[in-house]
Chains A and B, each alone.
Chain A
Amino acid sequence: GQQVQQSPASLVLQEGENAELQCNFSTSLNSMQWFYQRPGGSLVSLFYNPSGTKHSGRLTSTTVIKERRSSLHISSSQTTDSGTYLCALELGDSNYQLIWGSGTKLIIKP
């Protein structure tokens, strides 16, 4: 089965609301990396998070290895946050292989 399951597939929010994106994994990991991608754009790294919680402005990433999950929280969303968010699991028995989530398409309405 799929080693990384990302949810939700899509999310529509009003500006100012908070967003919670989730990735569940079924294999050992070195780390979870979160990316942001605009339509037609490249991938922008948001977090490299092997465990625990990391913050960057309005973004928070939490990886809990025992529960096999990693989350991305966006507080006070803005229309410019719209795009696709991807998680990528770096396999525990590999030092380079990334297993990609299917992505969350986030739309923030004004």
Chain B
Amino acid sequence: DAGVTQTPRHEVAEKGQTIILKCEPVSGHNDLFWYRQTKIQGLELLSYFRSKSLMEDGGAFKDRFKAEMLNSSFSTLKIQPTEPKDSAVYLCASRDWGGSYEQYFGPGTRLTVL
């Protein structure tokens, strides 16, 4: 079975640009999460979907970060406009809610904003 896939693996953006990160969850999983990981802050939850419905929109991340899940097998995270402080690794995870509950992570997208 394919795990969580994320594209691109690396992204370099100029300040003010719009970038879109993509995620495909494990087939059959009904929960999808977006996280951001930095050395200083560690892992922070950005968004959480259950069966394509947005359940958590990340509070402090709301203004420039928007996650969408148009179908059960694909999600995007848009950052608009990007700022240098957004430089981090963005991780997508999925799980089978009602099944094992274990979160499975993708390889991540390393974003550098200049």
Contacts and interface: CB of A to CB of B under 8 A. Distances in A.
B55 interface: yes
Contact of A31 (B97, B101, B104, B107): B101
Contacts of A97: 45
Interface in B61-97: 91, 93, 97
A45 B45 contact: no
Task: Assign chain B's interface to a size class.
Answer: 20 to 34
A33 B102 contact: yes
A96 B106 contact: no
Chain A contact residues, majority secondary structure: strand
Chain B contact residues, majority secondary structure: strand
Nearest to A43: B105
B102 A43 contact: no
B48 interface: yes
A64 interface: no
Contacts of A11: none
A96 B102 contact: no
B56 A96 contact: yes
A102 B43 CA distance: 9
Contact of A42 (B55, B101, B106): B106
A35 B101 CA distance: 14
B108 A100 contact: no
Nearest to A50: B101
Given A96-B31, A96-B33, A96-B48, A45 B103 contact: yes
B91 A98 contact: no
The list of the 10 closest CB pairs from A to B, nearest first, reads A48-B102, A43-B105, A42-B107, A100-B43, A42-B105, A42-B108, A45-B102, A96-B48, A100-B42, A45-B104
Interface of B: 31, 33, 42-43, 45, 48, 50, 55-56, 91, 93, 97, 100-108
